[in-house]
Amino acid sequence: IEAERVHRSVLEREKLELQEKLLAVEAERSAEQIAQAELQVRVLELEQARQRQSAEQPRSGVLPSLEGLGGHRASWSMELGAAGTGGLCLASGTPASSAAEPGLPLPLHGLEKQVKHLALEVKIKEKRLQECRNELEALRSEMRAKHRDAEAVEDELQHALLDLGQ
């Protein structure tokens, strides 16, 4: 009977340890979800900023904000690429294909890179979240098994006590 009690207390302790791990995984999962939501908000903000900038961007002419390129104001113009996609380039004759990306004004290229980077971060966070979910499910399964073991030990202990009482 004493061995059964010791075994039961060991199972209870393991059950508590598993519950602690489960809580830690759930906390990490919540943190991952919050981080993912923050990244998605940031991606949306950057996309809105890109759209606003794209709508405000002149299609040709002198952009006053581009001083500092060679110490003078740069002149930009729209060119059509071979596939019919537009690209901004320096008026000095730089072809549109050598611009950051065809069809995008150069100032927007940085925003596009940020959006792509944040989208990659979201994918990484989603993968980590799935790993946490898998780990959580494994811990729950292990906890259910330990609980079943504890119930079986408790039943055996009850039967042993009944046998001793008779």
**Are residues 125 and 155 both part of a single domain?**
yes
**Are residues 11 and 91 both part of a single domain?**
no
Q: Is residue 111 part of a domain?
A: no
pTM over 0.95: no
Looking at the structure of the chain, the number of domains it has is 2
Q: Is residue 92 part of a domain?
A: yes
**Are residues 17 and 52 both part of a single domain?**
yes
Question: What is the tens place of the pLDDT at every residue in 113-143?
Answer: 888 888 888 888 888 888 888 888 888 888 8
Q: Is residue 74 part of a domain?
A: yes
93-115: b (≥16 Cβ within 10 Å) or e: eeebeebbebbbbbbbeebeebb
Q: Please give the Cα distance from 24 to 32 (Å, whole number).
A: 12
- Give the range of the structural domain holding residue 93, as residue numbers without chain letter: 58-104
**Are residues 137 and 96 both part of a single domain?**
no
Q: Is residue 112 part of a domain?
A: no
Q: How many CA atoms lie within 13 A of 99 on its CB side?
A: 28
Question: What is the tens place of the pLDDT at every residue in 61-112?
Answer: 444 444 444 434 334 333 333 344 444 443 444 444 444 445 545 566 777 7
**Are residues 49 and 62 both part of a single domain?**
no
Q: Is residue 113 part of a domain?
A: no
Q: Is residue 110 part of a domain?
A: no
